[in-house]
Structure 1
Amino acid sequence: MTAYNPAEAQATIDRVRRVLKNPPVAATRQSESARTGAKSGGRDVNFATLPEYEVINLAKAVGHLAGLEDPYFRLHDGLARETTSLNGRQVVNFSSYDYLGLNGHPDVVAAAKAAIDQYGTSVSASRLTAGERQVHRDLEAALARIHDAEAAISFVSGHATNVSVIGGLLGPEDLIVTDVSIHNSVTEGAKLSGAKRILCPHGDLEAIERALRLNRSRYRRTLIVVEGLYGMDGDVPDLAQLIKLKRRYSAWLMVDEAHSLGVLGATGRGIAEEQDIDPSDVDIWMGTLSKTLVAAGGYIAGARPLIELLKFTSPSFVYSVGTPPPVAAAATAALGVMQRESWRLKKLRQNGRNFAALATARGLDIGLSIGASIIPVIVGSSPHAVILSQRLLERGYNLFPAIFPGVAENQARLRFFMTSRHSIEQIEGVIDAIATELPGIRSGPSFVNTIAGIDV
C-alpha cells in the first residue's frame, strides 16, 4: 500500500479540480503547449499535452495515491488458463476467454507447429492477390459446418470483422438496429457505414419492433445485430422472436457468436442449438477465433453469395494479410477437440451453474447472467470494483474490473469468465473472498471516495 503523502495528495486534488472545472471537451481548456508557448498554428502538437492524455494520467495518479495497483496490462509469465503466474506468483485466473480449456491442448499445439513447418509463420500478403493455403480452406469449411451454413470466410482480426463487414454492407441509405449492450466492433462498423443507427434498451424486443415499425420503410436495407451471449452481462436474446421480426420487416439478422461458440448448445454450436433454431434462419453468423478456439481473428458464416461478396469487397479481407497458418490450423484443431471431447462443455456449464447458485446464495448480484461462461458480480461503484479487484489479487484471484465509462457507474462489476478447468474449490474460494471483502469496502472510508466527492 502506498504511504499517504500530504503534498502529493494536495497536488492530485488540485489536478482533479482543474480537470473537473475544465473538462477535455471544453473548447476553453488551456493546453500545456499554450502555457509553455509550444505552439503550431495555435494547435497542440505534442501528444503529452493532449487533454485526453491528462485524464489518463489523472486516473493513474488518483489510484496511486489511494494505494491501488494499476489493474491494466498485468504481465503473465506463461500459459494463462484456470491458473496463471503473475510476476512469479501463481494465482487462480478468472480473466481468460479459454472457455473449454483448449489453450495448450496437445492437438492444438501440434497442429500449429505442423503448419509452421509446412507454411511458415505468415502468408505474407492478402489471400485475394497472393493466394491462400489449405489451412484457410480447412478452417472455413469447419466453421461453415458448425453453423450449417453454405460457406464461411475468416479474417485476421475479430474486431475488424464486424467493422469491415457492417461498414461495407450498409451505407447512408440504410438502417442498423442494435442492442445498447452490443460490442464496440459493431458500433464502430455502424459508424463507418454512415447508416442510421438506433440503439434499443438491453434485451427489449418491443423497442426493436418499434424501431423497425417506425423506420423500416424509409431505408433501403436494414440490419438487426445482437450477440448470442452478451459479453458484459452473460445473458442471451430470444432468437425465435428476432427471426419473426426480421421476416416481418424484411431485415437481415446478424448474430455475434464471439462468446457463445463452444459455450451454448448441447455440442457447443452456439445459440441456435441452445434455443433449437434452424441456423439458416439467421442471415449472418459472426464469430471470433480468439475465445473458445484459442487462436486469433474472426469469421462470417452464411449463404454462399454473401461470402463471395465479402471475399471481393470487404476491406479487412481484401487489403489485409491472410490469417497466419499456425493460427488458422490451431483454430481448426480446437474445433475438432471441442466436438470430440464433449465433457469439456458439460464441465463448463456445470461450473457456470455452480458459480451462479453459490454467488446468489451469498447475496452477490450477478445481474442478468444465465450462468454459462460469463457471470458478472455487480459491485455498483467503479472505485469499489477496482479496490475489490486488488483485494482479490492479494488473496490469489486474478479478476479484471469493468468500470465507467465501459459500464454505467452504478453497474461497475467484476466479470468472471468460467472455464471447464476451474474446480469447485476455486469457485467456492473466490465467492467466499468476495463475500468477505465487499461489505468492508462498501462501508469503509476511501481516499478514492474523497476524490470523487470533491466540491468544485
Structure 2
Amino acid sequence: MSMDVSNGRLSGSAKSALLDTMRRAGPAKDTEQAAFVGHTGRDMSFESIPAYQNLRSQRAMADALGLRFPFYQPHDVRAGARSVIDGNRVVNFASYDYLGLNGHPEITSAVADATAEWGTSVSASRITAGERDFHRDLEQSLADIYESEAALVFVSGHATAVSTIAALLGPKDLILHDALIHNCIVVGAQLCGATRRSFAHNDMAALEDILAGSRERFERVLVVSEGLYSMDGDGPDLARLVAIKEQYDCWLMVDDAHALGILGKTGRGIFEMAGVDPKRVDIWLGTLSKTLVSCGGYVTGSRALVDYLKLTAPGMVYSVGLPAPACIAASTAIRLMLREPERVARLQANGRRFLDTARAAGLDVGTSWGYAVVPIILGDSLRTLTLADRLLGRGYNAFPIIPPGVPERSARLRFFISSEHTDAELDGAVVAICEELAVIDGGGNTPRMTARPKMPEIVS
C-alpha cells in the first residue's frame, strides 16, 4: 500500500485502508523477544498482553504516516509556558504551571535553604520517622485555603485519592462519580470494594435520580466531582451538588486539582468562584504538582477525617513522607498565589481570550469555561495526531488526547493556558490550528487573523 502523507493529507479511502492494514497485521514481534511459552503451553511474554499489542499497532500506524511519537517528548528546559523540544523553541501548552511559578526565584531560594537544613528525604513514613515543621506548615496553609479544620499531604496525588477512598469505604457502601472523573477516583473505588456507579457529566438531575432510587440500600454514600475537569475545562454546579448531598445524607468529595490557583478571584478554587461555603464539602482533594509547582497530593476536611486518615490511609502509613524541598516549594507557592492575585487574573484573561478566539474561528471547544483548560475537539484520532505533529513543527506544543483517554469520537488537542502566555502566542496558536486543519482536510476556511508570533526567548 502506498500513499502520499507528506502534507498530512489522507483521503477517506486511504485512511480506511491504512487502519484496516494495521488492525490485520498487529504488532510485529522482535526476533529477540520471542514468546515465552510455559509448561501450560501459554504465551507468558509481556509482548502477548493484548493492550501492549494495541499500543504497538498504534505506534506502527504513526510511523507509517511519518508522525513523531507524541508521548514522553524530551524537553530541554524547565516546564512552563515555553519550552525547547529537539533543540527547537516552542510555545508550550502542555504544562500545568498555570501561574508561572515553576522556577520562581523566591521558591527556588526557599527550596535551596530547606534542602541545606533538612536534606532531600524524611527517610520513612511519617508515622515512623515523625513529623517536622514543614509538614505542619504546609497542611495548615492548605486547611486555611478551604477553611477546614485540618489537612493532610501525601507523597503522590494519585495515591491520595486511592488511599482516602480505600480507608473510608467498603463493600456495604456506594460511590457515585461523574462519568468524566479522574482515574484516581475510579481506581480507589475499584480497590475498596464499594458499589460504583457513574452519572452523566455534570448532570445533577441524573445524580439525584440515582440517589432517590438507591440511597437507602447503602450504609455510606460518597459523591465525587471535580472543581475543573482537565479534559473538558468545565465544572459542576457546586451549589446544587452540595444541596443534593445534604438532602440525601452523603459525603461529598471535590477534586480541586485543576481548580486551585485558577478559579475564584484569589485562586482558592471552585468554592470561591461559586460563592459556596467550603465547609459544606466534606472532603477537598487536590495535588501539589500543578499551580503549587511541587509534587504530591492533599486532603482537607474535618479534624476527625484527617486524624483517621493519618492512621489508616495506605498511602500515608506505608509510604514515605513528603521531603522538605517539596513541602517548602508548595508552601511558598501558596504564599505567592495569595500575595499576587494579578497572576490569577492574568491566567483567567488568557484563558478567555484563547477560548473566544478559537470559538470565533469555528473550532469546537466543547463545554470549556475558558479558564485554564481548553480542548480543541476534532473527533478523529488520526486527524488529531496529525494536527499535533504539524503544530509542533510550527512551534506550538499541544498534547493529543485520543481514546481511551476520552470517549470514542471525541479525540482532541488539550491546551493548558498559563498566566505567562502572551496574546501573540495565544492568537498565533489559533491561526496555526486553522491553517494546518485546512491543509489536513484539503481545504476549508482560514482564520481572519494572520499574524504569527515571534518565538520567545527561553529562560533556562
Q: Is the contact between residue 44 and residue 50 of structure 1 (CA under 8 Å) also seen in structure 2?
A: no
Q: Structure 2: give runs of 5+ residues left out of the alignment.
A: 7-16, 444-460
Do the aligned partners of 2:223 and 2:252 also contact (CA within 8 Å) in 1?
A: yes
- Are residue 94 (structure 1) and residue 93 (structure 2) matched? yes
Structure 1 letter corresponding to 2:187: E
Map of 1:416 onto structure 2: 415
Matches of 1:201 and 1:128, distance apart in 2:
40
Residues 275-286 of structure 1 aligned to structure 2 (within 5 Å): 275-286=274-285
Q: C-alpha distance in 2, partners of 1:37/1:151?
A: 52
Residue aligning to 2:59: 60
CA positional deviation for 1:437: 1.1
Q: Distance in 2 between matches of 1:406 and 1:112?
A: 35
1:263-342 superposed matches below 5 A: 263-342=262-341
Q: Is 2:23 the partner of 1:16?
A: yes
Match status 1:84 vs 2:83: yes
Q: Would you say the 8 A contact 1:224–1:252 is kept in 2?
A: yes
Structure 2 Cα separation of the partners of residues 386 and 191 of structure 1 = 31
> Cα distance, 1:404 vs. partner?
1.1
Are residues 1:442 and 2:441 paired? Answer: yes
Residue 265 of structure 2 aligns with an amino acid whose one-letter code is A
Q: Find the residue that maps to 1:136 and give its secondary structure.
A: helix
Q: Indicate if the aligned counterparts of 2:35 and 2:43 stay in contact, CA closer than 8 A.
A: no
Deviation of 1:112 after TM superposition, in Å, equals 1.1
Distance 1:246 1:437, change over 3 A: same
2:123 maps to amino acid: S
Distance 1:140 1:58, change over 3 A: same
Alpha-carbon distance, 1:180 to partner: 0.2
Q: Which amino acid aligns with 1:205?
A: M
Cα distance, 1:388 vs structure 2: 0.4
Residue pairs, 1:380-391, within 5 angstroms: 380-391=379-390
Partner of 1:191: 190
Give the aligned residue type for 2:337.
M
The code of the aligned residue for 1:17 comes to: R
The AA in structure 1 aligned to 2:119 is: G
User: CA–CA distance in 2 between the matches of 1:301 and 1:162?
Assistant: 12
- Judge conservation of contact 2:36–2:43 (CA < 8 Å) in 1: no
Q: Which amino acid aligns with 1:186?
A: I
Q: Which residue of 1 aligns with 2:352?
A: 353
Q: Percent identity?
A: 49
Aligned counterpart, 2:174 = 175
Residue 186 of structure 2 aligns to a residue whose secondary structure is: helix
Determine the C-alpha separation between the residues in 2 that align with 1:432 and 1:191. Answer: 43
Deviation for aligned residue 1:288: 0.4
Matched, 1:208 2:215: no
Q: Letter of the aligned partner of 1:79 in structure 2?
A: R
Q: Trace 1:36-55 onto structure 2 (pairs within 5 A).
A: 38-55=37-54
Q: Which residue in 1 is equivalent to 2:452?
A: none
Distance, in Å, in 2 between the alignment partners of 1:37 and 1:304 is: 53
Paired with 1:186 and 1:249, the residues of 2 have a C-alpha distance of 21
What's the offset of the Cα at 1:88?
A: 1.6
Q: Is the 8 A contact 2:35 2:45 kept in 1?
A: no
Counterpart residue number, 2:231: 232
Structure 2 residue aligned with 1:370: 369
Partner of 1:7: none
The offset of 1:409, in angstroms, is 2.7
Contact 1:100 1:420 in 2 (8 A): yes
Residue number in structure 2 paired with 1:400: 399
Q: Which amino acid aligns with 2:261?
A: G
Q: How far did residue 124 of structure 1 move?
A: 0.6
In structure 2, give the amino acid aligned to 1:376: P
- 2-side partners of 1:408 and 1:13: how far apart? 21
One-letter amino acid of the structure 1 residue matched with residue 312 of structure 2 = T
CA distance in 1, matches of 2:413, 2:270: 24
Q: Say yes or no: does 1:145 pair with 2:152.
A: no
The CA deviation at 1:39 is 2.8
Tell me the secondary structure at the aligned position of residue 410 of structure 1: coil
SS in 2 for 1:149: coil
Question: Letter of the aligned partner of 2:122 in structure 1?
Answer: V
Structure 1 residues 181, 13: closer, same or farther in 2, change over 3 A? Answer: closer
Q: CA offset at residue 143 of structure 1?
A: 0.3
- After superposition, give the CA deviation of every residue in 1:349-407 in whole Å (9 maximum; x if it has no partner): 01011111111110011100011000101111111110000010000001110101111
Counterparts of 2:93 and 2:239 in 1: how far apart (Å)?
32
Q: Greater shift after overlay, 298-307 or 126-135?
A: 126-135
- Superposition RMSD in Å: 2.2
User: Residue 160 of structure 2 aligns with which residue?
Assistant: 161
Question: What is the aligned length?
Answer: 429
- Structure 1 residues 324, 44: closer, same or farther in 2, change over 3 A? farther
Compared with structure 1, are the counterparts of its residues 122 and 18 closer, same or farther at alpha carbon in structure 2 (3 Å cutoff)? same
CA contact (8 A) 1:222 1:252 kept: yes
Kindly tell me: are residues 36 and 295 of structure 1, through their superposed partners in 2, closer, same or farther at Cα, counting changes over 3 Å? closer
Normalised to the residue count of structure 1, the TM-score between the two structures is 0.90
1:19 CA drift (Å): 4.7
Judge conservation of contact 1:2–1:64 (CA < 8 Å) in 2: no
